[in-house]
Amino acid sequence: MANLKTRYTDGARRGFFHLGVILARRGFTADMMTYIGLLLQVAALPLIITGYFGWALVIGIIASLCDALDGAVARAGAGPTTAGAFLDSTLDRVSELMVAAALVVYFVLEGPQWGPIVAMLVFMGAAQMVSYIRARAEALGVDCKVGFMSRPERLVGLGIGFLFSWWEPGGTSFLVWWLYLLTVLTVITVVHREVHVLRKLRALEAPPALEEPPAPAADEQLADELWPEPSGRGGRGY
């Protein structure tokens, strides 16, 4: 699973880099792409709240492309910066929270439907934990890319839910069933990353194994046998 994820991620980055070169030559910067992506996500919020998931998906795809291209534009232009990376990471969290919050509002207006509302609240928290665990682990010097439900997979998952939201297997929208699945998988990813980081940190902090003292030399052994040390019990001296 990890090899497959790495393979398609690396392939996508190579493809985006070529587009990044074109955009950088036309004067676009990485920060501009980040802000454009955020504004597009904001534009999709009313569509999500009112249940126009198809149109929200179209805008979300364009926003995700902008978000994916900001790094490519940075590499093709002046180069990535720590400030740009920080801005991108924080606005990614804001964007994801806005979409999830819009879905909560939608389910409140529809019923309220408490099942999907609770699922979305858990999904929101677990999604932030997935990103936080990786950031905290890397700050402590531990690599943490395990688990399947990182941000790109969560976005694709929500997109699939939006695409088939019209379908109602068992009288319930496919989007609801799909959100339950995404929530469970995201929580599993949180647990997976937590266990992974704890194992790595405990391995780094484990005390070194005690070395056995060196065996005494042959001359010392012979001296001990010929002239043993006194026992110190007050025996008769010679």
Per-residue pLDDT of the chain (238 residues; tens, 9 = 90+): 555 555 656 666 666 777 877 888 888 888 888 999 999 999 999 999 999 999 999 999 999 888 888 878 877 766 667 888 888 889 999 999 999 999 999 999 998 889 999 999 999 999 999 999 999 999 999 998 888 898 889 999 999 999 999 999 988 999 999 999 999 999 999 999 999 999 999 988 877 666 666 665 555 555 555 555 555 554 444 4
Q: What tokens does 28 get?
A: 């676009």
Task: Please measure the distance between the N-terminal and C-terminal CA atoms of the chain and give it in whole angstroms.
Answer: 79
Give the other-Cβ count within 10 Å of 223's Cβ.
Answer: 12
Chain-centroid distance, C-alpha 204: 22
Helix (H) or strand (E) holding 95: helix 82-110
- Alpha-carbon span 22 to 95, nearest angstrom: 26
Instruction: State whether the Cα torsion 158-164-165-167 is positive or negative.
Output: negative
Residues whose CB is less than 8 angstroms from the CB of residue 237 and which lie 6 or more positions away in sequence, other chains included? 230
Residues belonging to the active site = 92
- Alpha-carbon span 189 to 172, nearest angstrom: 26
Residues 192, 196, 202: CA angle, nearest 5 degrees: 145
The closest alpha carbon to 133, from 123, 122, 142, belongs to 142
Q: What tokens does 117 get?
A: 């509302």
pTM above threshold 0.85:
no
